[in-house]
Structure 1
Amino acid sequence: MVKVMIVDDDPMVVKFNGHYLNMVEGFELAATAHSAAESLRLLEEYEIDLVLLDIFMPGMGGLDLLTQLRRIGKGVDVMIVSAACDSQSIKTALRFGAVDYIIKPFEFERLNAALSAYRELTAVMEEQAQLNQNELDSFLLSTKNRPVREPLPKGIDPHTLTTVWETIQSLDGNAFSTEELAQLVGISRISMRKYLDFLKQRDLLILRLIYGTVGRPVYKYRCLQSSPALKRFLF
């Protein structure tokens, strides 16, 4: 388990980034700090593998903290998560060994990619005394080679979308109504209609009028594609 400390002077950002961190397998939030001075103290108290570090903080800034960590030989990895996007800040961070640089605001996918690459590389380096170039490149270049996810429209939650899609897949091609799927997923019929419209607009579902033996005909959906079809939208 990779033990992480989040350093940011904004409590809401700390909470937000901690929530994201908990969504990535293999990471544990071990400590949080709201200043560089506090983080230095906590690094003496806790065993930390990775620091998610902001740059703009009162007193000692994140870059000064990073350079001091290197001067004193503190063996902790640092990933910058900051709104600072000027080339000088980025150069300084990378020059002093930041393992990645994420510019606020960011999507979960970017942080997920960075953390996943870090987790995989550190795991391999612990298991193997030596790496060849191909093995090293597979980790160092992994975030660059990941496909860009298309943004979801407002009102579409990625986790709910995943649940909706997996439920549709479990029906094995059988037709279903909005109300039937809403009951299976556990959300309202109005909310479900938004997700089904989203999937239909992307040619993942087809809507047809179904004539039964009794009662009025009803509109039902049927899945047109298999589960990988949503990979450009989901994590």
Structure 2
Amino acid sequence: MSDGPAVLAVETATDACSVALALGGELRSRHEVVPRQHQQRLFAMIHELAGSAPLAALGLDLIAYGRGPGSFTGLRIAAAAAQGLAFSLGLPIAGVPTLAIQAQTALRRGEAAPGSVILSTIDARIGELYWALYDCTDELPRALSEPAVCRPEALPVSRLAAEVASGRPLYLVGSGAAFADAMPAGLPAFAGSAPALLPEAEDLVPLARACLAAGEAGSAAGVAPLYVQGGDRWKTLAEQGRAR
């Protein structure tokens, strides 16, 4: 982990409760799969990373949190914790889509190759999945679509096929990969699948630093979990920009 702004990052949108602390070129992290225990574990994990030092003495520059989509309860836990920390410490805050964090986790763990396209997914329950598409040509994943939710058979075949038309491999990662057999037959073949992968807070750190460098971090008052509702028609980023 290269030196950069000091970041405290939290991610609780899935069954995993994940925390990372990046200080002076050192990265410390805790990652536990503890369904429905995030509320009990989150601050304990933060204090385990901080050790005996109070958070105010760490010289933090940024608080970061996974915005979702994911478990509504988990999103609220991360957002509330990050907001409270940012208010109390007087720090800016950066919210990053959980699907982007997961794509970065896949790259770091070798579950997807650099230069590929990643279909990052999370089981949304009731037979649906959250998903977004990421271009992994650069150092960090770049969104090719906004997070969306749909039934697996409704994934946009033409869009996915267009992104891998140049021969780039397509990887399927995250808990939504359990629906692979229900996905449309016309989808490009996946170069690999990682259904057990969960987003990790240490992968939120570089994404949050990029937000800060781009001037996209905000105040604690602007915390906004990303709730993606069923029935929304999938749109490209360009289409969503025209609709604003």
Aligning the two structures, in what range does the TM-score lie when normalised by the shorter sequence?
under 0.3
TM-score, normalised relative to structure 1:
0.27
Q: Which has the larger radius of gyration?
A: 1
TM-score, normalised relative to structure 2:
0.26
Q: Which has the higher contact order (CA 8 A, sep 6+)?
A: 2
